[in-house]
Amino acid sequence: MTSNRNNFTKTIFLLFASLSLTLTGYSQFDDSYTDLDKTEYLVTYSMKFQEDSLNPHYISQEDMLLLIGPKMSKFLSYNYYIGDSLVRTISTHEEFQELVNHPQNIMPRVRLMYEIFKNYPIGKITTTDHIIGDPFKYEEKMDQFHWELRSDTATLHGFKVQQAICFFGGRQWIAWYTADIPISDGPYKFNGLPGLILNLSDSKQHYVFEFVSISKIAYALMIDMNDKEYIRSSKQEFFKARNNFREDIISRAREAGAGVQTQQVAAQNMARRNNPIELE
C-alpha cells in the first residue's frame, strides 16, 4: 500500500522533471510515509472557529477527523487529509499538469495543516505542523490536562454526557464527554477523560468542536506519518516561528515571488488570523 503510493509520488517528480528543467523545489510530492498504527474507530467532529478575535461574524467551519487505533490516535482536518491523499494518488499526466498549473482548482484550501499524534511516543503528544515551506515537529506531555469534573450531566445524540473543565493554552475549556464510549480521547490534543469527548468549546466560544459521527473502520485506514525531514523544535519555538511568520508576511510573500498588491493583501488577511487555538 505504502510503496504503491511512493511510486506515484516518484512518478510525479519525474513528470515534473520532464516538464521543466527546474529540478529542485516542489518537495511536497517527494514524500513517503511510515505506518504507526491501524485505525479502529473514526470519529468526525465539526469545528467552528473564529479566526479573527475582533470579528464575531466571520466564523469558519472545518470537519476534523480523529483516527483512533489500539495504541495511539491521530487528529487532523478533513481537508488536510484529502489534500494529502490527492497528492498521493495522482496518476495521470493531465491531473499532474492541472495540479501544477492550477493548484487552487484541485487542492483543498487547507487552513489547518497540523496533525496531532497522541500517545506517540508513549505518554507524549507529537504535533506536526507547517509554516509555509517548513515542516515542524514538536512533542509535549499527554497528561497536561487537569480536568475538573462537574456534576452537570445531559444527553447528547442519545449518549449520556457529563461536563468537565480544564485550562489549556490560555483558555478555559468546557468538555462534555461520554463514558458510553470508553475511549479516553477527544478533539485536538485533548484527552484524559474517562470517555470520548463529544463536545468541546472554550469559554469565549471561539473554538467549538461538535461530534458528528463515530464508526468502526473495517478497511485498512492507516495512522501514518510523513517521513519528511521535520524541523524538531519545542512547542514554544514553533509558536515563535509562527508568530514571526505572521509579522514578517510581507517579506516572505515577496521572497515567494508575489507582487506588491498580493503582498499587501496577504498582510491584511494575515492580520485577521489573530486567534490561534492555543494562545500561549
Q: Does 260 contact another protein by CB under 8 A?
A: yes
Identify the residue among 7, 172, 203, 205 touching another protein (CB under 8 A).
7
Which x/- pattern over 80-119 shows residues binding another protein (rule: CB under 8 A)?
A: -xx--xx--x-xxxxx-x--xxx-xxxxxx-x--------
Q: Rounded CA gap, 217 and 128, in Å?
A: 24
* 114/230 with CB nearer another protein: 230
Q: Does 264 contact another protein by CB under 8 A?
A: yes
* 231/279 with CB nearer another protein: 231
* 205/234 with CB nearer another protein: 234
**Of residues 175-194, which lie at the interface with another protein (CB under 8 A)?**
179, 181-184, 192-194
Q: Does 257 contact another protein by CB under 8 A?
A: no
Beta bridge partners of 155: 160
- Phi, psi (rounded to 5 degrees) for 177: -115, 160
Q: Does 216 contact another protein by CB under 8 A?
A: yes
Q: Does 157 contact another protein by CB under 8 A?
A: yes
Q: Does 140 contact another protein by CB under 8 A?
A: no
Side chain identity at residue 243, one-letter code:
N
Identify the residue among 34, 144, 203, 231 touching another protein (CB under 8 A).
231
Q: Does 204 contact another protein by CB under 8 A?
A: no
For the chain, where are the alpha helices, taking DSSP H only? 2-19, 78-89, 93-101, 103-106, 235-247, 249-255, 260-272
Q: Rounded CA gap, 253 and 258, in Å?
A: 5
Which residues touch 119 (CB under 8 Å, ≥6 apart)? 71, 72, 73, 125, 142
- Phi, psi (rounded to 5 degrees) for 152: -65, 130
Measured CA to CA in angstroms, residue 74 lies from 143, 148, 158, 166, 214 at distances of 16, 25, 26, 22, 14
* 101/205 with CB nearer another protein: 101
Q: Rounded CA gap, 91 and 280, in Å?
A: 42
Identify the residue among 57, 141, 229, 280 touching another protein (CB under 8 A).
229
Minimum gap (Å) between residue 155 Cβ and another protein: 10
